[in-house]
Structure 1
Amino acid sequence: MADHADVADGVIEHHLAQALRALPVGNPGQCALECEGCGDPIPEARRLALLDRGCTRCTECQELADKRGVRV
């Protein structure tokens, strides 16, 4: 029978796996020039701000995707 620590470990592993799946796919530091959501150009300021993880959407489309729970 699992004790509280085992249950907590399972929950932590589950959340960590979800967080890792939510990380952008592709090359870190690579940002698209155009938003995959609306096709508008992604502003240079956003691309520079996200150099460490990359981006594929403009701010507005990413906010909508976050609300829907979609992350790529």
Structure 2
Amino acid sequence: MSAIGSSADNALGESFNAAFKCETFQGRMSWTNEHEARLDAFRWLNRYKTRRRHSRLGQRSPIAYETTSEATSAA
């Protein structure tokens, strides 16, 4: 255990993993093969980065937030 915000604090990773498991495995018992499982994981990661809104980012997706931040810092 370590202080909040230190490199040993894994709360962010645990939160990400919990969201991944909850949203990917919800109602799913198994996949027919490894390729199908990997494809589902890729779809979730793509949605997480491009369309899923985050309250910490002002209800914007990470891509929209980064684009806005880059445009603001460049100006």
- Answer yes or no: same fold by TM over 0.5: no
Q: TM-score of the superposition, structure 1-length normalised?
A: 0.36
Higher RCO (CA 8 Å, separation ≥ 6 residues) = 1
Per residue, is there more helix in 1 or in 2? 2
Q: TM-score of the superposition, structure 2-length normalised?
A: 0.35
